[in-house]
Amino acid sequence: MVSQLSEAVLDVIADALVDKGYIFLPELVPAHISQVLLEKVQATEIHELKAASIGRGAEQQLNPDIRRDRIQWLDEQHEPDSLYLDLMMQLKEGLNRRLFMGLFDYESHYAVYQPGAFYKKHVDALKGSQNRILTTVFFLNPDWIPEHCGELVIFDEDDNEIERIAPKMGHFVIFLSERFPHEVTKTLAKRNSIAGWFRVSNSVHGF
């Protein structure tokens, strides 16, 4: 059976994006989907993951001084990826109905941070580029404790910290991509997440 996002939850997300530009939801993805996603990432060997780069297109490069996670893109042709991507399509359609954002497609990847890895402060989209409109982050870390660090820290446009989110199992965050700088603090334990971006139809597709 296909899991459904409720209209009430979609209302809450849409209202928060209008009011604040972001929302943190302790639970959004059904537990059975979270579990199979966790099992997939736990079964994936680190050598199967690609070192994450910064920049796009011709400017893409590896820079371990800025970013040290390893990634694998989700594939809609295979479960459990398709289960998560179906929920994100429901989210896209729900936000388009409410906010007329013109969201067109969604790209996402698993991001695995080994102990000592981090991602320094950055913005997911250049202002006015319409490359990435909304960013999502979903965490897959059972038994996470504060001593593991690895928080997602979100800043406002004046560089003031406004949210610090522990990457606990099931936590989900969505925010306007070009508005909020953010970082992943150095993690002291293996840290799993799925990062994703909604884009509009005239954006340039490139990994």
Tokens of 97: 């109905």
Q: How far apart are the first and last CA of the chain?
A: 32
* Cα–Cα distance, 147 to 162 (Å, whole number): 21
> Residue 179 in contact with residue 186, Cβ under 8 Å?
no
**Residue 130 pLDDT class (50, 70, 90 cuts):** low
Q: How confident is the model at residue 121 (pLDDT cuts 50, 70, 90)?
A: very high
Our CA angle for 180, 28, 151, nearest 5°, is 45
Distance CA 88, CA 106 (A): 8
What is the Cα–Cα distance from 195 to 207, expressed in whole angstroms? 13
Give residue-wise pLDDT tens across range 79-116.
Answer: 999 999 999 999 999 999 999 999 999 999 999 999 99
Report how far residue 130's alpha carbon sits from residue 199's, in angstroms, rounded to the nearest whole number.
7
Cα 48–Cα 166–Cα 33 angle in degrees, nearest 5? 55
Dump pLDDT digits (tens) for 143-200: 999 999 999 999 999 999 999 999 999 999 999 999 999 999 999 999 999 999 999 9
Measure the CA–CA gap between 205 and 164, rounded to whole angstroms: 30
User: What's residue 55's pLDDT?
Assistant: 75
Q: What is the pTM of this model?
A: 0.92
Handedness of CA 179, 161, 175, 82 (dihedral sign): positive
